[in-house]
Amino acid sequence: MNQVKEKGDLYLVNRRIKKRIDKMFDKNSFVNTPPMGWNSYDYYDTIVTEADVRANAEYMAKHLKPHGYEYVVVDIQWSDCQAGTQRDQYQYINFSHFNMDEYSRQMPAENRFPSAKNGAGFRPLADYIHSLGLKFGIHIMRGIPRYAAHTHAKIKGTDVTADQIANPYSISRWNPDMYGVDYRKPGAQEYYNSLFELYAEWGVDFVKVDDICNTNMYPHNPYSAEKEIEMIHKAIANCGRNIVLSLSPGPAVIEKAWHLARYANMWRITDDFWDDWRLLKHMFERCELWQKHVSVGCYPDCDMLPVGWVGKGFGNERYTNFTYDEQITMMTLWCIFRSPLMIGAELTKLDQPTLELLTNDEVLHLVSNSHGAVQIKRDHKHAIWLSKDNNDSSYYLALFNLADEVQSISITLDELKFGSPVFMRDLWRHTNIGQAKDIIEAAVPAHGARLYKVQHNSI
């Protein structure tokens, strides 16, 4: 009888442990589709203000939310009162002190985010974003502020100080603000727990963590922040709030795909992506490498969409260098691959063609309602991708012209393993184009794309 009871008690204990473990790793239940939204970086760099964020959020709520865009993300340096004031010399000011609380945690710069006064942090701004039916996100650098370590600032809930968990040999190649956190030190996990406890109190829904996906200071060990990713994941699991975890910059380490899928929701597969055709053409290689690693809650990230007006904070405000056909190629690849869609433009300056590009619901349908995307052909002149609809027997076929002149791109139904005939719809032109019996062929503009819905029943 006692043995039965002991076995029963052990069973209950094991079930409780399993539930706890399942909860820790169940990061997918609230990220069923790739996140879509806006990020401040491409336009504002380090100088975005509360007024800017509110204006872009209001535009999103009115024009983009009906099409699935919902995240409003404040990118880097939001805690630095002096950010951008020495932009002719530095992107990130050396030896900056930031605005911090007593526990080594960065707080919004009040001269740029006035609602953060009196210790309110980002809560008032997050509340406003939520009132619009949207979600709020922030950027952080991995680690702990160097200034906190140098001044031996406190870590909440411990007797440990910042210098005791900081690793001065783990730094960023491109940003001077932080030391890495040594996971082996008492207080390390408590520090990350305190960060995400604060973010949960603020109502944060999305955190982009930088200098962590690829710590490119250390080419011999580009995934050197592996344990910090795990600490952050655990802190999110413990904070009591659903928070999307996005890791930057890339290129992500393909050999660590299993680890990224276990601990993060999205991770950059490229370094910063800008409006340069050479970078866009190279994305076909990156997407080919990562095409088998897209799953529910796990989204290799092609980076932001540099459309419309970008570059103001960099001192180079410009309309995107991408041609319209190149923007069609970018949107088609991002959508069929099922990358997160984060707009980099100043939303309040979007023109009608760009707005229409970003809100084509037939194309955006692929982001949330397709699967199994695979690149079936690629050379230096063209690429072809195929995916399947989640809801019926339809397929999506994308033809990409990577050449510098218009060309005809074709593929036979036999190559696609399709029976004949098939019916086709052009998703960019919103036009049914009829029946194909043996071959699908199209004249595609230079650097452009065609995207078709293909099915055996008439459309």
pLDDT digits (tens, 9 = 90+) for 106-138: 999 999 999 999 999 999 999 999 999 999 999
Mean pLDDT in residue range 315-331? 97
The encoded tokens of residue 267 equal 């991770």
**Average pLDDT, stretch 407-422?**
94
Whether the predicted pLDDT of 1 surpasses 70: no
Using the predicted structure, report yes or no on whether residue 182 has a pLDDT greater than 80. Answer: yes
Query: Would the pLDDT of 316 be above 60?
Result: yes
Token pair of 300 as six digits: 């290799």
Does 424 have pLDDT greater than 50?
yes
Instruction: Compute φ and ψ for 86, nearest 5 degrees.
Output: -125, 35
pLDDT band, residue 21 (cuts 50/70/90): very low
CA 119/CA 139 separation, integer angstroms? 19
Residue 1 belongs to what H/E stretch?
none
| Token pair of 412 as six digits | 């036979």
Please identify, in words, the CATH class of the domain defined by 26-359.
alpha beta
pLDDT band at 30 (very low <50, low <70, confident <90, very high): confident
Report the percent of the chain where pLDDT is more than 90: 89
pLDDT over 80 at 6, yes or no? no
Q: If 0-12 CB within 10 Å is exposed, 13-18 middle and 19+ buried, where does residue 32 land?
A: exposed
Strands 135-141 and 206-210: parallel
pTM: 0.93
Q: Which residues of 394-427 are buried (b: 16+ CB within 10 A; e: fewer)?
A: bbbbbbbbbbeeebebebebeebebeeebbbbeb
Whether 434 and 453 have beta carbons less than 8 Å apart is answered as no
| Confidence category of residue 457, pLDDT binned at 50, 70, 90 | confident
Chain-centroid distance, C-alpha 424: 32
Of 180, 199, 169, give the one whose Cα is nearest residue 142.
180
The gap from C-alpha 169 to its chain's centroid, in whole angstroms, comes to 28
Give the pLDDT band (50/70/90) at residue 16: low
**Cis check: omega of the bond before 251, within 30 degrees of 0:** yes
**Of the listed ranges 34-38, 66-70, 418-422, 455-459, the one predicted with least confidence:** 455-459
377-455 has the same fold as 26-359 = no
Q: Which of 83-97, 133-147, 192-206, 363-377 is predicted with the least confidence, judged by mean pLDDT? A: 83-97
Confidence bin at 358 (pLDDT 50/70/90): very high
Per the CB < 8 A criterion, the answer to whether 266 and 273 are in contact is no
Question: What amino acid is encoded at 329 in this protein?
Answer: T
Q: Average model confidence (pLDDT) for the chain?
A: 94
Using CB atoms within 10 A of its CB, is residue 102 exposed (0-12), middle (13-18) or buried (19+)? exposed
CA distance 144 to 165: 8
Contact criterion met (CB below 8 Å) for 208 and 138: yes
pLDDT value of position 347 = 98
Phi, psi of 195 (to 5 degrees): -60, -50
Which residues sit opposite 174 in a β-bridge?
none
Name which of 69-78, 200-209, 418-427 the model is least confident about: 418-427
Q: What angle do CA 304, 301, 234 make, to 5 degrees?
A: 115
End-to-end Cα separation, the chain, in angstroms: 67
Q: What is the DSSP string of 69-94?
A: --EEEE-S-TT-TTTTTTTTT-SS-T
User: What does the pLDDT read at residue 144?
Assistant: 98
Which pLDDT score, from 0 to 100, does residue 97 have? Answer: 84
Q: Stretch 307-317: mean pLDDT, rounded?
A: 97
Q: What percent of the chain stands above pLDDT 70?
A: 93
Cis? peptide before 421, omega within 30° of 0: yes
Residue ranges per domain, the chain?
A: 26-359, 377-455
Confidence of residue 11 (pLDDT cuts 50, 70, 90): very low
Q: Write the class of the CATH domain 377-455.
A: mainly beta
For the segment 254-295, what is each residue's pLDDT rounded down to a tens digit?
A: 999 999 999 999 999 999 999 999 999 999 999 999 999 999
> Any idea what DSSP says for residue 213?
S
pLDDT average, residue stretch 224-241 = 98
Asked whether residue 322 carries a pLDDT value surpassing 70, the answer given is yes
For residue 20, what pLDDT is reported?
46
Spatial distance between the Cα atoms of 16 and 22, rounded to a whole number of angstroms: 10
How would DSSP label each residue in 264-327?
A: -SEEESSS---S-HHHHHHHHHHHHHHGGG-BTTBEEE---B--SEE-GGGT--EE-SS-HHHH
